Structures are given as C-alpha cells and as structure tokens.
C-alpha cells in the first residue's frame, strides 16, 4: 500500500487535500499528460486554499476544489465524465460536514456541477440523497444547468467504443474529491464521479453513499474515496476509518491502513482515499497502481500522479 502522512503545517490554521481518481493505467502518462493532471490538481488546491485563507468554511473549500476538477475534462467527473452503456452521462456526488449534515445526488444529468447539486440537497431539502434531479428543480436552487450531451467529450466516446469492442477494460476508477479542515476546526468532505465506462444505466457507486465514499465528523475525520465502488459500499469504508479513530483511538494513518487491510485488501478491492483529522493531519493512501492526489503543505500545493 502507498500511504503519505502530511502533518499539519505550523502557522497555517487550515488543511486541504484533493484527489483525481485512483486505479491502473492502460498506458503510462506522457510528460505532457502528467503535467496537465498536476496543473488540474494544483488549480483545485488553489481554489480551496483561497477560501480557507480568507476565513471561509471547510464546506466552501471542498466545494470550490471539486468544482475545478468537475470542470476539467481530464478527470472523470462533470465535463468529461465516463459514459454508460448507452453513451450517456450519469453523475454522482456528495458533500458532508463535520457537524453531520449531508447531501447527495445520483444519476444527475443536468447540473453543470453535481457537487453543488449535492450541497443544495443538503441545504434546501429534508433529504440526503436525490436521484436524477430535474432541470427545473436545479434551476429553482439557482444552479447552472447544461444539456446532458454537453458533458460528453470525444475522448470519452473513443474510450467507450474501445470497451464495447473488447479492446480495453476501460477505466475502472475515476472520481474526484476534497477534504478540508478550516480555521475554526470544522471538517468537510466532497466527492464527485462519472462512474465506470460502459456501466449499466442506473448504476450508482460509492461516491454519493454517505459512509462509503464520503464521510465527515468533526470529532474524527473527513474522507473522500475513489476505487471499486461496490467494494467500498460493502465495506462502509469511509465510516470504518472514522470508527477506528473514535472507538479505538487509532492514529489517522494507522486507521487508514487497517481499513484497507480489513475492508478492501482481503476481498480484492482496490482504490484510494484522502483524509484529514480533527487536528488537521492529512493522510493520502491507495492500494491501486496509482492515484492522482495533492495537498497543501502550508500554503504550497504538493501534487502527485
């Protein structure tokens, strides 16, 4: 397992980490592709940092970071998301605050930024998860909407055709997310995804499932996951890390490692997660071949692909 412990920076009262998906790559990244992915992660970190540096909330920071990644066609969320068997886009997202409030959407086809739709579910309804929110509903919340085909890119069409033809398995993992601790000590997590290339219509992974792919608790940790969604759901992976911290007094890195060992490794599940605890310590871990990831070291963005 690959794990990075990035302790909180002295003199900076906030913490932020992002990811852009984990999994095996069909071919190695070119120098240009790697640079572009790093730049996308840097922009996300900068967007969240701007919020936190100005005294903003952890929730505002993770949403700002994820919006940047949803708008970047290099990542499997929002514009440029993976396509279903029918060649359509069905987007999932979730947000959760350390105070225990949460919102999520699944099979979203109109919200330009699904993470903001998830936040609106949390703030404007008594519910946690809505499936296929309508364009009218989204616009009533003041959100930007687009036609479903606007999410589709030529690269994703080509990828779907390769999968349909049996030339490649397609990207199994592809999700974006962010976790943050703000200057007031509050935590938040956000996750957004397009799912799996050639997935069945209506398939929903772990990203919008609270406790599986997304979780936050001010007493313990905020987590955003990426990987084999079904395995993360069965293992209630994000909550498992929090439970180890709360009930066993585990150190953050140890909690992440034990969750991977006992909830994923033993059933062949692969992927990754980013986490920040109540003290502001950051851990980024994955058991897959790679994970796009980054965090703030003080005010300096650090990225890896």
**Can you give the pLDDT of all 305 residues of the chain as single tens digits?**
999 999 777 789 999 999 999 987 767 888 998 999 999 999 999 999 999 999 999 999 999 999 999 999 999 999 999 999 999 999 999 999 999 999 999 999 999 999 999 999 999 999 999 999 999 999 999 999 999 999 999 999 999 999 998 876 655 557 999 999 999 999 999 999 999 999 999 999 999 999 999 999 999 999 999 999 999 999 999 999 999 999 999 999 999 999 999 999 999 999 999 999 999 999 999 999 999 999 999 889 999 99
Torsion angle (degrees, nearest 10) of CA 261, 264, 270, 272: -70
How confident is the model at residue 173, as a pLDDT?
A: 56
CA-CA-CA-CA torsion for 111, 117, 118, 120, nearest 10 degrees? -170
Nearest by Cα to 257 from 287, 224, 281, 277:
287
The CA-based angle 86-72-212, given to 5 degrees, is: 70
Number of domains in the chain: 1
Question: pTM, whole model, 2 decimals?
Answer: 0.96
Please report how many Cα atoms fall inside a 13 Å half-sphere around the Cα of residue 185, on the Cβ side.
5
Rounded alpha-carbon distances, angstroms, from residue 246 to 5, 159, 240, 277: 19, 42, 10, 11
CATH number of the domain encompassing residue 75: 3.60.20.30
pLDDT digits (tens, 9 = 90+) for 59-116: 999 999 999 999 999 999 999 999 999 999 999 999 999 999 999 999 999 999 999 9
Distance CA 236, CA 125 (A): 25
CB neighbour class for 266 (10 Å; exposed up to 12, middle 13-18, buried from 19): exposed
pLDDT in tens, 138-167: 999 999 999 999 999 999 999 999 999 887
Q: Which of 97, 109, 175, 303 is catalytic?
A: 175
Structure tokens at 265: 């490794």
Contact 22, 226 (CB under 8 A): yes
State the Cα–Cα distance between residues 244 and 215, nearest whole angstrom.
14
| Per-residue CA distances from 280 to 3, 17, 190 (Å) | 17, 11, 17
pLDDT number for residue 52: 98
Q: Which domain holds residue 92?
A: 2-304
Verify whether residue 175 is a known catalytic residue. Answer: yes
* DSSP state string for 180-207: EE-TTS-EEEEEEE---TTBPTT---ST
């Amino acid at each position: 397992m690959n794990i990075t412990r990035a302790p909180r920076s002295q003199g900076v009262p906030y913490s932020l980490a992002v990811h852009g998906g984990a999994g095996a790559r069909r071919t190695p990244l070119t120098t240009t592709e790697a640079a572009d992915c790093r730049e996308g992660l840097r922009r996300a970190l900068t967007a969240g940092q701007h919020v936190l540096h100005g005294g903003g909330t952890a929730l505002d920071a993770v949403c700002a970071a994820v919006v940047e990644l949803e708008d970047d066609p290099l990542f499997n969320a929002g514009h440029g998301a993976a396509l279903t068997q029918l060649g359509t886009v069905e987007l999932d997202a979730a947000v959760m605050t350390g105070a225990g409030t949460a919102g999520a959407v699944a099979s979203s086809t109109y919200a330009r930024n699904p993470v903001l739709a998830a936040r609106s579910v949390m703030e404007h309804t008594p519910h946690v998860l809505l499936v296929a929110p309508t364009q009218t509903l989204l616009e009533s919340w003041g959100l930007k909407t687009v036609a479903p085909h606007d999410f589709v890119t030529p690269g994703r069409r080509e990828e779907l055709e390769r999968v349909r033809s049996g030339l490649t398995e397609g990207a199994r993992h592809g999700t974006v997310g962010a976790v943050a601790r703000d200057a007031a000590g509050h935590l938040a997590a956000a996750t957004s995804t397009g799912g799996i290339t050639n997935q069945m219509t209506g398939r929903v992974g772990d990203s919008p499932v609270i406790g599986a792919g997304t979780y936050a608790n001010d007493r313990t940790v905020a987590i955003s996951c990426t990987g084999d969604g079904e395995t993360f759901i069965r293992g209630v992976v994000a909550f498992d890390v929090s439970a180890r911290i709360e009930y066993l007094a585990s150190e953050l890195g140890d909690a992440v490692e034990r969750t991977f060992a006992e909830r994923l490794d033993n059933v062949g599940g692969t992927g990754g997660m980013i986490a920040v605890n109540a003290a502001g310590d950051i851990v980024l871990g994955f058991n897959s071949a790679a994970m796009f990831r980054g965090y703030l070291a003080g005010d300096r963005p650090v990225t890896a692909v």
